[in-house]
Amino acid sequence: MSIFYKSDLIITNDGPPLRNGIVEVNDHGVIVSIFQDDTFQDYRFVEGILIPGLVNAHCHLELSHLENKITPRHNGMAGFIDQIFSGRDKTNMLECTNAMLLQDKRMFEEGIVAVGDISNSAVSIDVKKNSRIHYHTFVEVMGMSAASAQSRFDNGVSLVDQFIQNNLTSVSLALHAPYSISKKLLQLVNEHLKNNSASSIHINESDDEILFCKSKSGPLKEVFEKYKLPVNDFDNITNESVLIDCVQQLNNASPFILVHNVKTTQAEIELANRMNANLYWCLCVHANKYITNETPDLTNYTNDSLKIVIGTDSLASNHQLSVWEEVKTISQLNNQIPFEQLIKWATINGARALQLDNSIGKIKPGYAPGLVQVSNINFENPIVTFDSITRKI
């Protein structure tokens, strides 16, 4: 049996916005038809704006128990890593699972239908298996010594297999960040991506990162030495752009989600896009504010042909895993970004980055995008305000 939803404005991502349109959805959540008919009566009215389900392109569900445990803006990137390291091994498994369950539920209720989720362990498997959200898991590997590269890689591959054995087949390898990996590990992961290509990396997040990758010095070196990491072995050094070097070395990653981009320049964006046609530029502005209180120059991203996606990062560096809260802050940082473009970033672009764009991201017959109501918003002239909220219907 079908349900019909009528709304003041429908953003379909498949043609122009529809005023007073009606969407027919079947029992399986699949869109059957979309039409305008003022005489049609048998509908449920959705006040405000109807959009496809949201996509969180970058999250770390397994860090959900760290909510309010890391002090915001505490000595930048190095201070953040110091706090993460000092809190390791204090995790209670039950606390961790309950925190993941709660955040999974909250994400679903706000309208998130798919998540690109970084995992360093198997702890999130049960939550993901039972979730109403589609997760693409990026199994993250790191290790700055070439001597450990093979074993770090092997552990990553066996974790990928563990997800697959649990029927979580949307899974691939990802690298943590340019400052935490060896060239050898990078090569191993790149080779593996030939068969399993979607990947992701944290990049250009801070000046500390760039300084360490260019000269193996600065605050990151100090914090790595404090925790006895093999800094002397670190060989992923470049004199050029850290981002360009990374895109060049990981040439099998496609789609490739580049996360953070606080320090990314217009020139890097243009050159990198010429090197890899399937790059996604992921913004996580709340995490940036939390860690360094700096945010990307959003004027670099207003070109509609750029593939921008939105992530929340984790509750170690955010107060909520809400894509809509990220959209609000992005809109506040640059009020020149059109409403429809922001919706694309939060929906269809994320679906493409996670290779789900045959089923979600569009309100289109045959798709099952999940429908989301945006309320407390002026649907005549939509602008993202802080009062606006989203809800899965």
CB of 209 to Zn ion, least distance (A): 13
Q: In sequence order, which ranges of 75-193 are alpha helices (DSSP H)? A: 76-86, 93-110, 125-129, 149-165, 183-192
Helices (H), the chain: 76-86, 93-110, 125-129, 149-165, 183-192, 207-215, 219-226, 242-249, 266-275, 285-291, 323-333, 339-346, 348-353
Straight-line distance from the first to the last Cα atom of the chain, in angstroms, rounded to the nearest whole number: 17
For residues 340 and 12, give the distance between their C-alpha atoms in angstroms, rounded to a whole number: 10
Which span sits near Zn ion by CB under 5 A: 5-13, 120-128, 311-319, 383-391?
311-319
Residue nearest to Zn ion (CB): 313
Using an 8 Å Cβ cutoff, are 362 and 51 in contact?
no
Q: Binders of Zn ion among 87-126, rule CB under 5 A?
A: none
Percent helix, strand, coil in the chain (nearest 5)? Answer: 35, 20, 40
State yes or no: cis peptide before 255, omega within 30 of 0. Answer: yes
Question: Applying CB under 5 A, does 326 fall inside the site for Zn ion?
Answer: no
Q: Which lies closer to Zn ion via its Cβ, residue 268 or residue 313?
A: 313
Segment contacting Zn ion by CB under 5 A, of 40-48, 177-185, 309-317, 353-361? 309-317
Q: How many residues bind Zn ion (CB under 5 A)?
A: 1
Distance of closest approach, residue 118 Cβ to Zn ion, in angstroms: 6
Piece in contact with Zn ion (CB under 5 A), picked from 19-27, 247-255, 265-273, 305-313: 305-313
Residue 202 C-beta: closest distance to Zn ion, Å: 5
Nearest distance, CB of residue 6 and Zn ion, angstroms:
39
Minimum distance from CB of 58 to Zn ion (Å)? 6
Of 205, 209, 313, 326, the residue at the interface with Zn ion (CB under 5 A) is: 313
Positions touching Zn ion (CB under 5 A) are: 313
